[in-house]
Structure formats: structure tokens, C-alpha cells
A and B are shown apart, each in its own frame.
Chain A
Amino acid sequence: MSQVRGEAGARGGKVRSDCWVAFEPRDGGGIELQVKSKVASMYGENIRQQVLAGLAVLGIEHGFVEVEDAGALPFVIDARLETAVRRALGTLEGQIIPEKTVEIASSAKDRFRRSRLYLPGNTPKLMYNAGLYNADGIILDLEDAVAPAEKDAARCVIRNAMRVIDFGGAELMVRINQGERGLEDLEWIVPHGVQLILIPKVESAEEVRAVDARIGQICDRVGITAPIWLMPIIESGRGTLESLAIAEACPFVCSLAIGLEDYTADIGVPRTKEGAESLWMRGFVINAARAAGVQPIDTVFSDVGDEEGLRASVREAKAMGFDGKGCIHPRQIPVVNQEFAPTTAQIDKAMRIVLAFDDATARGLGVVSLGSKMIDPPVVKRALHTVQLAIATGLLADNWKQEA
């Protein structure tokens, strides 16, 4: 039997909060375990016990395991160990799934999606504090931020992260890969608490329906009843032209996002800061999303150091009709959240409408009026949304009605 060595994770002087695991299967002799750790005197024994327990879960009785740890949290050690064993054996039925220690309330189709923070799926050290920054959504990315050779490692990290990390009330999102690989990704994430799937480079409604069908199968199998929303990303000329059909592909589509790097490459122009080349596309996708009753969501602003540029970009997005924007650094989140916040005048008006609505409801009236003016239901709905946004942004106390 050929003895193949499997390795996973990261090591070296600059590595923090991650570990490297190597596994060599053996035919006998039990488990030989070597652990080197920067936190050996504090967690060395803990790590040994965890590795032995993980091997037992995987049904491994013989083999050589080497761990080089730079302060990895337990969920990372589990993920690296499992990946190393899977790589050594070529295939592995078992998984080391950590006990679920966070419970996430189910998400709503029309919840706020102003800011969403992208996190590379194979970089665990960025994950455990990501929930502290008040992003509306956290995206654990399996697609462009993960090298092709590390997709398997990232699946384990993301699965474990979703079970143990408290993301602070952010909507838990995963961006899967394209095509068949993306459908396989779903097996690793759907059972573990994901609330929204971003589908990259979508060009047809069929792609969305394929994802939706696979999610449905997995949910039925493992008994998940909470909805899992879909955010297709439009990143090409064809995708743009199909965007209305994509938005209407199934009832779980909640938003349409755009990706401009791939889009500009697809139409054969450089991407500029001014964005003239994508103006039509952005307008078209916004209209398609609105026509389908879903949220249009803008792409990321990639210059992390340029806060004023980001602010201008968010203002433009909001003015065009977008409801949200992607973030690639936590410091971008407050800017995005603030800029999507309503103005004081908008909040005042919305508060008056909401109070009038409450009053009408309390008195059993079918019609809401403010002064002599009748208020249409969509206006009431928008006012409720504005008030919620104001509360979420901290511009309005959540008990404002008592003070009004």
C-alpha cells in the first residue's frame, strides 16, 4: 500500500492563529503524534487531546501526525487535521464537525443588506472577530479569495466557523464557486447554519434554480426548515441581459449583486474609478432587481485606504438605487452603514407616517392619513423601512414611539 502524506494549513514565521498538520497513514503501530506549538506550555496537552479525539472520529487507528501550531483556535485545528487526512487518503467519508455553539435566528428576505464583509474562506484568523463590526452580512468566500488547491481546506474551515463563531447578528453568507464545484460546496455549508448563498458569475436563471434545487435536497435530507436566501452576482454582459429572469428564477432570490472586475473584462474595457463603462449595466440591474422585487446590491470599493473615495462611491450607489455595498475591510463598514442611513428629514417624515399608520390600525381604519393627505400602502411600507434603517444605524432609539 502506497503511503501518501497529506498536509494542510499554514506554518512559518509570519503565520498567526493557524496551524499546519501533516498526516501519513500507517498499517499498524497506532498513532504517533508530534506537536510543536507557540502556545505549547498553555495549550499543548489540549491540542494533543483534540487531535487524538479527531482521529478517533475519522476512524483512523494508525498513522503519523505532525502538528505545527501558531495559536490556532480549536475549530481551525479540527479543520486542518481533517483536510490533511482527506488529502492523504484521497477520500474520506467522516468529518470532524465541532459542536454547534452558536444559534442563529432565521433571516428575512427583505432584511437590511447595506454592508457585507468579505472574508477569505481559508484565512481563519480574520473570522473570529468579524462579527464585532456591525456589518449587516458576513461573507465567507469559497470563490475568488481561495486558491484552487485550497478549496477543500476552506470548506472545512467555513463549515466549522459557522458552527462556533458568533458573528454578532450579521447575516451569515457564503459565496460558493461556479458550476458543479459550487453545488458540491453546498453540501459543506447548507447543514451548518448558512443564511444566504452568493452565486458568482450567473448568466441564466437555470444556474440559480440548480443551486436552489440542491439546497432544497440538502435541507430535506438534514431537516432544515429556515429559508436560505440567494444573491446571484451579475458579472457579464449576458448576465446583465438575463438579470430580470435571474432575479425571478425562484422565490428565494432576495437580491441581485454586481461584480465589475469581471464585467468590465467581459465587455472589453478597463475599469475606471468614474465607472462610465458600467453605468448602463448598473442602471439595468437595478431596474431588473426592482422589477422582480429584490434588492439591488453594489460591488466592493477596493481602495481600503481611501475613506473619502469610499464615501463618494457609496453616495453614488445610493443615489442610483442600490441598497447595499460590499466591504473588504472592517473599517469600511461604518462608512457604508452611515451613508445608506436615511436623512433626518426622511426619518421625521417616516416617523409621522408610521405613527399615523399605528393610529389607523388601532382605530380599525382601512385608510392611513396624515393631516388631510391619504397615505398609500407602498409609502407606509417605505416609511417602516426608513424607521427600521434609522434604528439600525443608531439614529433613532428603538423605543422611539414611547418618546414620540
Chain B
Amino acid sequence: MSEIKMVKNAVGRMVPTMVNGVPQVPYKGVGKHQPTGRKVGPPIAQAGDYPRSGDKRVPTIKEALVKCGIRSGMTIGSHHHFRNGDKLMLQVFAACDELGIRDLVWFPSAAFPCHKPLIELMERGVIRRIEGSLNGPLGAYASRGQMDGVAVLRSHGGRWQAVQDGEVHIDIAILAAPTADAFGNSTGDRGPNACGSINFGLIDSMTADRVIVATDNLVPFPCLPWQVQGNNVDYVVELDEIGDPEKIISGTTRITKSPDRLLIAEYTAKFIRACDLYRPGFSMQAGAGGTALATAIFLREYMLEDDIKAAFMRGGSTKYMVKMLEEGLIGFILDGQTFDLEGVRSMRENSNHVPTSPFTSYNWHGKGCFASMVDFVVLGATEVDVNFNANVATHTDGQMLHGIGGWQNCLDANVTILPIPSFRNRVPIIMDEVTTLCGPGELIDVIITERGIAINPRRTDLLEQTAGKGLPIKPIEQIKAEVERFAGGPPAKPKVTDEVIGVVKWVDGTIIDSIFRVAE
């Protein structure tokens, strides 16, 4: 590790030129890195090698893995649509263990606390490392520098970009499918354990050398709709269980009851209402997270009062968004992942509730994507700084705690709003410099705290539109000073070693920042 060269990138952060043996490009600025070359694809197959009947079933995961030619050192791709209710990947890695396979790289679109047992497999060498959003216990494990190699944190769009650009090669993709036919056509929107969309696995299905679909609800051909096309699938395995959709509701998808957060949500909705872009036909994305959900609820009241309807909202869908769709307040839900069972039902029943993929929504290396067409996006952050840079990957103590999700991709919206409390447990969230820079300040327009609203000075348009409307608009430095006064000054910076334990990729595949191991 210590031989790696560190260089300063365009936002002044020191980043390695090589990660896990792969050469890297330092971040150059928004839109500054011009990609070249052609996208990757899977090996060319021939129909003659597959059953004419279309029946690709094999009895067990283990057999499917063997048929796919599983070997030590391979990269396994999977999607996270069951979120904390996933029951597939533990079975997959247990099968690998039984087969004596070692040194695997797991490349999920996200990992959750339910995957904690994999730590044991990492310690025994079955899994060498996980490349994907690390949350909870796995995040803590990697933070301690215990995971082999460097954690590579990517956005949802960045994962698609990395695969299509050939930065990450998936050897075998294993996709949980709440409903599938024997040919491999699969969908997530129906079946006894429906979880909504499974489109985070789409790129895996399109590019992996081998693709396995695992389902607990096999239906006769054709499985309709097909979110994943069977023509990309090698084998289909029937399992007793693949996941528990009740657990797609994670802690971050409940409305807040905290009066402070409700106040922040109310300010956020009022701010949106004060902007010129709030007009008939506007569009919006509010992520999971109690404050974002509460914002949508306040905004709904204003939309009813003002008789304003949104053209579309981007999901993460929840029951609150579904209600607005069914009331006619939203024209369409364009949904990347479903956060509760009402969202799942709506996607199945309502043709205006459309599953999207990281390709359509977020992929920077495409011919545009939906992210830039969104008027308002409401996101979270662990920290921000006086230059409006923001952090979602680490906390102020330097620990790696969160996955990036679609966060970086969403920054491309017309008005990017971060509603966040001004401090958490004594620690102020407005810093001179964020601990880890995940999003550059030039893309972050508004920071809304319970102590006031800070507008990025670059956005003179927003400053003008929202002035004199009774909103508590203040310079960001003023909010920072207020908090530091009662917190007893700014927090001490974490003492870190020079060991890079993680890197944060920007949406174009360049490295925007490094995460260093915190000193004991």
C-alpha cells in the first residue's frame, strides 16, 4: 500500500494513482474528464448452447456456480433491492465456501447490516473484499482497515459507469428475482416477496460473463413484465427464500418525529415554494430519510393550496409519493428503487409508476441522463463546509459509515438542497473543510438547517427569488459561528494515518477523495 503515489486532484484532495492494482485518474472538475473508447459487453454466446425449450433451471445455487465456472479470485455482482431483507447473498457465499472457493470480490450495488455474517467469510479468505456501498457493521470493519484492499465507494450511476467502461469486470452476476420464468426473464414488481424494481442488476445482466437468476416464484413463460431479459441469463435457480420485502423499509425511510427535523422539512418545503421553478409541471426528487419524506408531506399541502401539479417525481418511492401520484398531484413516478410495499404495489398496478435504472437516471457516461432534468432534489449529508462541499461517506471522526447511493448523481439537478441539522450530538455539521469530499460545492445550492437557510453565493438567482419571503436566510458562516458558540468551538480533526482504506469515485470514474485509516 505504502508504495502508491498520491497526487493532488482538482479539489485539492490527495488521491492514489493506483487502487487495488488498477490505475486511476484523479478528479479534474465537473464535466472535465472526457471518456474515450467503447463500452464493454459480455462474451458472444450462441443459442445452440442453451436448451431449445428455454428451460435454464438447475437445482441449486452451488450447481449453478459450478456450471458458471466459479473460480477463486472472481468478481461476483448482485443488486440490493431487498435492502436489509436480502437472503440470497449469504446462501451464495456459503455455497462458494463449500466449494472451497477463495479470494472473491463481492461487487454489490449496496451492502446492508444483514450481511454482517460475511465478515467471518472475509476473515477466512472466502471473500477478499467488498467493492460497493458499505453500511453498518461492514463499514465499521472496513474503517478499521481490516478489509483486504481499498474500499471503492461509488454512486449508483458510478457503478453502472464503472462496469460499462470496463473498470470493473463482473465474472458472475447473481440476481435475486421475486418473479421469473425458466428462461430467466425476471421482474421485481410481483410475486409473494415482490420488492419493486430489480434494475440495479440490469448492468450485471448485460455485461457479466455468466448470469444466474435466483427466484422464489417461478412462473410459466413469459414472465411479464421483464425487467431483466432472459436472453442475458445463463441459469435459473429456484430457492425457498431470496429476501424479505418487509425489510426494504430501512431506518432511513420513516418520517421523522423530531421537532427539529420537522422544522427543517418545513423550511425546505417553504424554500421550494418560494423558487421560480416551483410551477405547474415542475419535477422533484426527495430521497429516503425522515426529513426528506417530511418535506414531501409539507410540499403536498402547498401543492394542493397552490393548485400546482408536478410533471414527475423521481423515486425511491414510498407510500407518500404513491398517494400523491394517485391524487393526481404527480404525473409520473420514475422509480429507481422501491422503499416500501405501497411503492411495490403501485409500480405493479399503475402504468405511470415506471421502474428506471441507473442507466436512465444516473449514468454520466451516457447521452444524458434524467438527473439533470430534475428541478429540485432534496438530499442528506453527514457534513458540509463553508464552500458548500458535502460529505456523505464518513463522519467528522473520520469513520467510514455510509454508502453514496444516488447522492452524487442527484447533485446534477437544477436546485440541489441539503436539509440537515446544524449539529449532531454536539458536533457541528458545517466545517471549514469537509472530512471527505463527496460532492463539490459548485453543485450544491442550498443548505437548510433548523437555525437558518444558507444559499450558495453562486446562486444569485435563488437568493433573489427567495428574499423577503419570511425565510430565515443567512450566510453559511453565520450559522456555523452560532453552532460553534454553544458547541465549544469546532471539532478537532481526526488523527489519521497515511494508509488509504477507501476512495470516493466521482460520477465519471475519477477519484474525488481518499479515506484514510483513523489512528488508534
* Interfacial residues, chain A to chain B (CB-CB below 8 A): 16-17, 38-39, 41-46, 50, 70-75, 101, 128-129, 132-133, 164-166, 329-331, 394
Contact = CB atoms under 8 A, between A and B. Distances in A.
B495 A129 contact: no
A133 B258 CA distance: 13
A330 B487 CA distance: 22
A254 to B, nearest CB: 27
B486 A43 contact: no
B406 to A, nearest CB: 29
Interface string B485-520: 111110110110000000000000000000000100
Contacts of B262: 331
Contact of B487 (A45, A50, A73, A166): A73
A133 B491 contact: no
B425 A41 contact: no
B426 interface: yes
Contacts of A17: 425-426
B485 A101 contact: yes
A132 B396 contact: no
Given A42-B492, A71-B426, A129 B486 contact: no
Nearest to B259: A330
Given A74-B488, A128-B486, A133 B259 contact: yes
A77 to B, nearest CB: 9
A128 B426 CA distance: 11
Contacts, number: 67
Contacts of B495: 41
9 contacts: A41-B492, A42-B491, A44-B492, A71-B424, A71-B427, A101-B486, A128-B486, A129-B259, A133-B259
B396 to A, nearest CB: 6
Contacts of B426: 17, 39, 43, 71-73
B396 A46 contact: no
Interface of B: 259-260, 262-263, 396-398, 424-427, 450-451, 470, 482, 485-489, 491-492, 494-495, 518
A16 B425 contact: yes
Given A39-B426, A132-B263, A132-B451, A73 B396 contact: no
Contacts of A45: 492
A132 B489 CA distance: 21
Overall SS of chain B's interface: loop
Contacts of A70: 425
Contacts of A74: 486-488
Given A132-B260, A164-B486, A43 B491 contact: yes
Given A39-B426, A42-B397, A394-B470, A73 B488 contact: yes
B486 A73 contact: yes
Nearest to A77: B488
Contacts of A73: 426, 486-488
Given A41-B518, A331-B262, A132 B450 contact: yes
A193 to B, nearest CB: 16
A384 to B, nearest CB: 23
A70 B424 CA distance: 11
B297 to A, nearest CB: 13
A35 B451 CA distance: 30
Contacts of A164: 486
A46 B493 CA distance: 13
B397, B425, B426, B485: residue with the most chain A Cβ atoms closer than 10 Å: B426
Interface centre among A41, A71, A164 (most CB of B within 10 A): A41
Nearest to B482: A166
B259 A331 contact: yes
Contacts of A329: 259
A75 B494 CA distance: 24
A100 B254 CA distance: 39
A46 B491 CA distance: 9
A385 to B, nearest CB: 23
A129 B424 CA distance: 12
Given A44-B492, A46-B492, A50-B488, 18 more contacts: A39-B425, A41-B492, A42-B427, A42-B494, A43-B427, A43-B491, A45-B492, A73-B426, A73-B487, A74-B486, A75-B486, A129-B259, A129-B260, A129-B450, A132-B260, A132-B451, A165-B486, A166-B482
A330 B424 CA distance: 19
Tell me which of A39, A71, A164 has the highest count of chain B C-beta atoms within 10 A of its own C-beta: A39
A46 B488 contact: yes
Contacts of A75: 486
Nearest to A394: B470
Given A129-B450, A132-B263, A394-B470, A38 B425 contact: yes
A42 B450 contact: no
